[in-house]
């Protein structure tokens, strides 16, 4: 943990622009270039979180899709048979 040279507050890594990561004081807003090891750690943490989120979203989406589609197919089958039976009945008369 780095501390602000102006007020002694905690300096936290924040993303600035597309790819730049700086240290910013949470108390007074003082900014300084982040050391290389903090940039690398910040990127590693954020990359891992992003990948975990994508994986869990995919799994949830897969589970929801299979659960819904099975019922949808059964529902569609019932509706289809009813429609066919109705038509047969009409022609039968």
> Which residues in the 30-59 window bind Zn ion by CB under 5 A?
30
27 binds Zn ion (CB under 5 A): yes
> From the list 15, 20, 28, 60, which residue makes contact with Zn ion (rule: CB under 5 A)?
28
Q: Is 2 in the site for Zn ion (CB under 5 A)?
A: no
Q: What's 79's DSSP letter? A: H
Using CB under 5 A, which of 23, 25, 34, 38 touches Zn ion? 25
User: Of 26 and 48, which CB lies nearer to Zn ion in the complex structure?
Assistant: 26
Query: Which residues lie across from 11 on neighbouring strands?
Result: 2, 25
Alpha carbon distance 37, 54 (integer Å)? 26
Q: Are strands 2-3 and 10-16 parallel, antiparallel or unpaired?
A: antiparallel
Q: What is the dihedral of CA 6, 7, 9, 10, to 10 degrees?
A: 10
Residues making contact with Zn ion (CB under 5 A): 4, 6-7, 9, 25, 27-28, 30
């Amino acid at each position: 943990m780095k501390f602000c040279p102006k007020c002694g507050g905690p300096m936290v890594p924040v993303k600035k622009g597309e790819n730049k990561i700086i240290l910013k004081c949470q108390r007074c807003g003082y900014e300084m270039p982040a050391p290389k090891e903090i940039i690398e750690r910040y990127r590693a943490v954020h990359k891992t979180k992003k990948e975990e989120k994508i994986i869990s979203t995919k799994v949830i989406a897969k589970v929801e899709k299979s659960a819904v589609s099975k019922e949808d197919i059964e529902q569609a089958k019932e509706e289809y048979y009813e429609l066919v039976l109705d038509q047969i009945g009409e022609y039968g008369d």
